[in-house]
Amino acid sequence: MPDLKTVVADIAEEMRTRPDRGEVATYIPELAGVDPNQFGMAVIDAEGEVAVGGDADVPFSIQSVSKVFTLTLALGKIGDRLWRHVGREPSGSAFNSIVQLEYEGGVPRNPFINAGAIAVTDQILAGHEPREALGEILRFMHFIADDTSITIDEKVAASERRTGFRNAALANYMKSFGVLQNPVDYTLGVYFHHCSIAMSCRQLAMAGRFLAWRGKNPTTGHSVVSPERARRINAIMLTCGHYDGSGEFAYRVGLPGKSGVGGGILAIAPGIASIAVWSPGLDSVGNSHLGRIALETLTKRMGWSIFGD
């Protein structure tokens, strides 16, 4: 078995010098200014050893990676009743698409497209003030990452709110079908803020550990979710975690993963590792270009694809 630290350091070096870096997301003005030349990677193994490469300690906007954590929280809160408000099938369309919503009675395909994540956020908000719901989400991040320094980037949140017309359309549309229960502004406010959580690759890999080790933090032994729930969240990450690029990601990387337009990806090698990569340049479907290539290289060299080596 190749040495993990060497493999991660080699990949970081290879990615640093690649000329093809994808395009930084521009529809959220605050993200448009991020330097595309950055690349970071962090891998935590079963012993809790962390292998890092490149800009692994630089915080970035986790964006849609936050949807894994809000899904976990919402399932913890209302269990399988969540599936009345959101489906769990791949969408085969863009992350911010509205067409399917009309055909399917306002119930979004899965919790990882924008409409689905907004519906999930609405469930976390139920019975709370937006501030309390956000506090709950942030405390959960602190707990699973063992790190109370994780915060929300208010500038990114404000930038998203100012320009989030498409998300407002999705939310209003769902509201018209009775899928959302709270005032649209409240739900969107919480959604924009959790997308604006800033974390480094190291922090994100720490936060993903419960998904790699059957719902438990392998270092403290603290249980976050049941093994069954961790398995199911991983299944949804595999089938829906990269929008319309989910099939390609499974084909090339072979791990459950969730991407965000900030260029981050959380990937889980069940029983083996929790992995975070970040490179801000995106491919044509909105997933980190070098992040995906780095993960493909890692799984190939380590033999970690869930489909075999």
Q: What x-and-dash track marks residues 245-264 binding ligand GLU by CB under 6 A?
A: ---------------xx---
Q: Could you tell me which of 153, 88, 94, 150 has the C-alpha nearest to residue 119?
A: 88
Q: Which residue is nearest to ligand GLU (CB)?
A: 64
64 an active-site residue? yes
183-212 residues near ligand GLU, rule: CB under 6 A: 195
3-state helix, strand and coil shares in percent for the chain, rounded to the nearest 5: 50, 15, 35
Structure letter (DSSP) for residue 53: E
Q: Which of residues 278-307 bind ligand GLU (CB under 6 A)?
A: 286
Q: How far is the CB of 71 from ligand GLU (least distance, A)?
A: 14
From residue 116 to residue 155, the character string flagging contacts with ligand GLU as x (rule: CB under 6 A) and all else as - is ----------------------------------------
**CB closer to ligand GLU, 44 vs 115:** 115
Residue with Cβ nearer ligand GLU (55 or 160): 160
Q: Catalytic one among 50, 200, 243, 288?
A: 243
If binding is defined by CB under 6 A, does position 64 make contact with ligand GLU? yes
- Which tokens sit at 299? 């799984």
Q: Is 67 a catalytic residue?
A: yes
Binding mask 219-248 for ligand GLU (x = CB under 6 A): ------------------------------
* Residue 7 neighbours by CB under 8 Å, 6+ apart: 51, 298, 301, 302
Q: Which helix (H) or strand (E) segment is 143 a member of? A: helix 130-145
DSSP E strand stretches across the chain: 23-24, 40-45, 50-54, 60-61, 151-152, 197-199, 257-259, 264-269, 273-278, 281-282
Given 24, 179, 261, 277, which residue is catalytic? 261
Q: How far is the CB of 135 from ligand GLU (least distance, A)?
A: 19
- Min dist CB 163 to ligand GLU, Å, is 9
| # binding residues, ligand GLU (CB under 6 A) | 11
Residue 243 a catalytic site member: yes
| Active-site residue identified among 7, 50, 64, 107 | 64
Distances, alpha carbon 75 to alpha carbons 42, 103, 123, 124, in Å: 27, 26, 9, 9
Place of tokens 């069954």: 228
Closest CA to 291 of 48, 4, 24: 24
Question: What phi, psi does 279 have (nearest 5°)?
Answer: -150, 125
* Position 30 contacts ligand GLU (CB under 6 A): no
Annotated active-site residue 186? The verdict is no
With vertex at residue 199, the alpha carbon angle to CA 302 and CA 123, rounded to the nearest 5 degrees, is 105
Which CB atom, from 25 or from 73, has the smaller least distance to ligand GLU? 25
What does the block give as tokens for 241? 């975690």
In the complex, the residues that contact ligand GLU under the rule CB under 6 A are 63-64, 95-96, 114, 160, 167, 195, 260-261, 286
